[in-house]
Structure 1
Amino acid sequence: MVPDESQPTDVPIIKQILSRKMTVALIMGFSCGVPLLLTISVLQAWMKKAGVDLTVIGTFSLVGLPYTLKFVWAPLFDRFTLPFLGRRKGWLLVAQVALLLSIVLLGLMNPAKSPWMVAFAAFLVTFCSASQDIVVDAYRREDLTDKELGLGSSLYIYGYRAGMLLASGGGLILADHISFSMVYLIMAASLIPGMVATVMTPEPEKVSGQPDTLAQAVVEPLREYFSREGALLILLFVMFYKIGDTMASAMTTPFYLDVGFSMTEVGAVVKIFGFWATLLGTFSGGILMLKIGINRSLWVFGFLQALSTAGFAWLAVVGHSIGWLSGVIAFENLSSGMGTAAYVAFMAALTDKRFTATQYALLSSLMGIPRVLAAAPTGFFAKHLGWESFFICCTLAALPGMLLLMKCAPWNGARH
């Protein structure tokens, strides 16, 4: 049902990592990761420093809607080809140039004097950023073979995390020494390598059967997907595979503080140490997928994700212990990084190359539903069950996704 590859390639791993395709995946991931927090944490800090009312700052979360609704205009990128660079590269360069200019525009705004103009500029950034995401996802799927999807997806996520770190951590540190306007100009300049990569990298091979009309670009991706055997089960799997991990993550910060860890301990161990563990997990997950394939990786990494969630229940029993906190966080971030790499590769493998932009945008939007709905009641559960029982329930919540693997990505399923 789902493409998988468990046969090792003849090309040495180091040569694959350093190949043109993987380098492009890494750079494009970085370009996609930079804009995200420029309209969230960095912008919030700027507005707070400028004395903007907290109510106004809170409403600015709505500028992130394009990330959730990107499937609405994704068919345009499947249907139309611009008269330069090709079907994917043409749109990608346009999105990147528009994104760079919108970040510059945002940096030239004055939050204290015209907060709603800032909101408009921030919306432009998220719209252009979401558009870049759509085309990058489509390009990556069409540029990489099924054998390369696992490693390519992990390097994309690696670059994405690095971009987020530069924008949030680097941006806030810089803002202590230079103006926020200059910070945004620097962040805009950091997107230039992605634009260079777009121009230099080859356009994916053209696939026959691409939509001839906009109506086809909207309808055909859905018709093609739902004509597959087990299509609904796969959608359920996409929603449930990381639901236990998502539920647990939504309440970890209150949990750490409730157990007695200081904010300094949480910042040092969870945010910094955990970040590098996530990158290691993402990278090692990509390497392992080369060896055992996407299907088996989903099984192994899914089990490790559930086990890592159970680690929080154990930490609730142990209590305040930096050693156990470090161990639990390292294991959780490592397994989550692996699981995310396999998850992203799995969704890419699901798409039909004629409609990559639309189908991947739909699947990635669907992936975000549990992040909102499943996280909403977690505070209620934690309050009434206690931390140990809450995290045990989060561990058990991983079972539906694991059971769906038997149909959606069987251990000995089809291989390429």
Structure 2
Amino acid sequence: MFVFGFGSGLPFLLVGYSLSIWLREVGLDLGSIGLVSYISLLYTLKFLWAPALDRWAPPLPLGQRRGWLVVSQVGVAAGLFAMGAYGPQVAALAPFLCLMALVAFAGATQDAVVDAYRIEITTPEAQGALAATYMFGYRMGLIVGGAGVLYVADGLGWSNAYYAMGALMLVPVATTLFAREPTRERPRDAATPEHTPAMEAFIAPLTSRLPASRGVLLSRFVAPLVEFLQRNGPLLAIALLVFVGLFKLPDQMLGVITGPFYRDSGFSKSEIATVAKLYGVWIGLAGTFAGGVAIAAFGVRRTILPAALAVALSNLLFILMAVYPGQEWSFIAAISGDNFAQGFAGTVLVAFMSVLVSRHYTATQYALLSSLANMPGKLIGGMSGFMVQAWSYTGFFAFSAISIVPTLLLLWWLSRRPEWRDEPG
């Protein structure tokens, strides 16, 4: 799980934060960089093809989970090699963006399969510890995809840096070949008697007028959603989905703009790598460890509130950095607070979402939840360049911190529900 976490974390910044610095250096404006970041929304749309990952296995003698892992990991490696070979050209950007989309799609697929693998390989009681292990590997992948690629790019150029990242993806491929395939419960078709009458009644009108093959395919996509609604009740289920979607909003909306912000503040690629993507990721690992300890000591639900507050309040430190541009102490302060909060809150959220999913539809339901956790912030983050141009960096960072208010109101409502107080976790 540590290596799988590393493989998931490595490409994430290479189609986001790190890539934004490369795009800025070739002359792309902030608004365009923000729009380009919408390609990384593929990470938030993985729930659309997750039902296929739950149902079918690729034609490889590795099993369902390991088979899809190898396919996605090889796709990430090939895409990174191709991005390094082509490079961004402002006058002809479309082919490079297609390669970026390939890496994002393969990376998102890898994430969905790894999440399902993690949940299926052990018991629900062990999910907190396993989530912390996965996040530790993920953070190490972020170090390499953030600091590592910047160091290599500073010395050998961006193309060679992406070649090196593609080569490193072969490590997760080799690990997958030797990993154990988990034992899992097969997803249930809409036509089987295992489905409840209420689920049958909901799905039947959707599939009755479709050809049999399309009806079965649609039922396999709808059934995981219906099961989640039935198990929690419609009101609570919708509230949980909205809560997950809002939880990381203050953090996610910063994503693509922080790299250009550091460059505009006067820091070199090597300085950014050292503080933001080397020192900062180790601080994030400390937050990940603290999150795991807090979950073990107090449970998932009791750690949600401090995690949400930390995500929002840490963004205020970027205002300090904007007021004192080019000052290393303000840079370190901002990165320390932000990365610790991200590590802590990320572990809490992963454990919380793991408790919510059914093992009949692991990949689909977890992909939906993790997609929701990133989508609102990504959508707003794509417009962040225009917001900065209109409000300045200080105004944008203040707005990001205030955006936690709806999350806190919804958490207050959830805490008053008997289901929230009585269920384990």
- TM-score range with shorter-chain normalisation? 0.7 to 0.9
Q: Per-residue CA shift, 1:289-344, capped at 9, x if unaligned?
A: 2233222222443355566567789x69x989987886675345323321121111
Residue 238 of structure 1: CA displacement?
0.9
Determine the C-alpha separation between the residues in 2 that align with 1:298 and 1:180: 39
Determine the C-alpha separation between the residues in 2 that align with 1:63 and 1:299: 31
> What's the counterpart of residue 13 of structure 2?
37
CA contact (8 A) 2:184 2:359 kept: no
Determine the C-alpha separation between the residues in 1 that align with 2:95 and 2:333: 46
State the identity as a percent: 32
> What's the counterpart of residue 219 of structure 1?
222
Determine the C-alpha separation between the residues in 1 that align with 2:117 and 2:328: 43
Deviates more, 1:296-305 or 1:391-400: 391-400
- In structure 2, what residue type is equivalent to 1:102? G
Deviates more, 1:142-151 or 1:322-331: 322-331
- Partner of residue 171 from structure 2, selected from 163, 186, 193: 193
Residue ranges of structure 1 left out of the alignment (5+ in a row): 1-24
> What's the counterpart of residue 106 of structure 1?
83
Determine the C-alpha separation between the residues in 2 that align with 1:180 and 1:269: 20
Aligned length: 388
> What's the counterpart of residue 135 of structure 1?
113
> What's the counterpart of residue 68 of structure 2?
91
CA contact (8 A) 2:84 2:158 kept: yes
Residues 186 and 408 from structure 1, CA distance in 2 versus in 1: closer, same or farther, beyond 3 angstroms?
farther
Residue 223 of structure 1: CA displacement?
0.9
> What's the counterpart of residue 424 of structure 2?
415
> What's the counterpart of residue 412 of structure 2?
403
CA contact (8 A) 1:241 1:401 kept: no
Alignment of 1:289 with 2:298, yes or no, is no
The secondary structure found in structure 1 opposite 2:184 is: coil
Residue 224 of structure 1: CA displacement?
0.5
Determine the C-alpha separation between the residues in 2 that align with 1:130 and 1:34: 12
> What's the counterpart of residue 68 of structure 1?
44
Alignment of 1:119 with 2:97, yes or no, is yes
Return the TM-score normalized by structure 2: 0.74
Determine the C-alpha separation between the residues in 2 that align with 1:107 and 1:61: 18
> What's the counterpart of residue 15 of structure 1?
none
Q: Per-residue CA shift, 1:71-103, capped at 9, x if unaligned?
A: 221111111123522221111112112222232
- In structure 2, what residue type is equivalent to 1:215? L
CA contact (8 A) 2:147 2:277 kept: no
CA contact (8 A) 1:244 1:397 kept: no
Residue 65 of structure 1: CA displacement?
3.8
The secondary structure found in structure 1 opposite 2:361 is: helix
CA contact (8 A) 1:284 1:338 kept: yes
Residues 405 and 334 from structure 1, CA distance in 2 versus in 1: closer, same or farther, beyond 3 angstroms?
farther
After superposition, the CA RMSD in angstroms is 4.3
Residues 251 and 97 from structure 1, CA distance in 2 versus in 1: closer, same or farther, beyond 3 angstroms?
closer
Determine the C-alpha separation between the residues in 2 that align with 1:131 and 1:308: 30
> What's the counterpart of residue 201 of structure 2?
none
The secondary structure found in structure 2 opposite 1:163 is: helix
Residues 300 and 184 from structure 1, CA distance in 2 versus in 1: closer, same or farther, beyond 3 angstroms?
closer
Alignment of 1:361 with 2:367, yes or no, is yes
Residues 269 and 297 from structure 1, CA distance in 2 versus in 1: closer, same or farther, beyond 3 angstroms?
same
Residue 159 of structure 1: CA displacement?
2.0
Q: Per-residue CA shift, 1:164-222, capped at 9, x if unaligned?
A: 22123222221233354433232112112211221222111121444484233211011
Residue 48 of structure 1: CA displacement?
6.4
Determine the C-alpha separation between the residues in 1 that align with 2:31 and 2:135: 32
The secondary structure found in structure 1 opposite 2:130 is: helix
> What's the counterpart of residue 352 of structure 1?
358
Residue 390 of structure 1: CA displacement?
6.0
CA contact (8 A) 1:306 1:398 kept: no
Determine the C-alpha separation between the residues in 1 that align with 2:332 and 2:154: 30
Return the TM-score normalized by structure 1: 0.75
- In structure 1, what residue type is equivalent to 2:65? R
Determine the C-alpha separation between the residues in 1 that align with 2:160 and 2:254: 37
Equivalences for 1:162-177 in 2 at 5 Å? 162-177=140-155
Residue ranges of structure 2 left out of the alignment (5+ in a row): 191-215
Q: Per-residue CA shift, 1:1-21, capped at 9, x if unaligned?
A: xxxxxxxxxxxxxxxxxxxxx
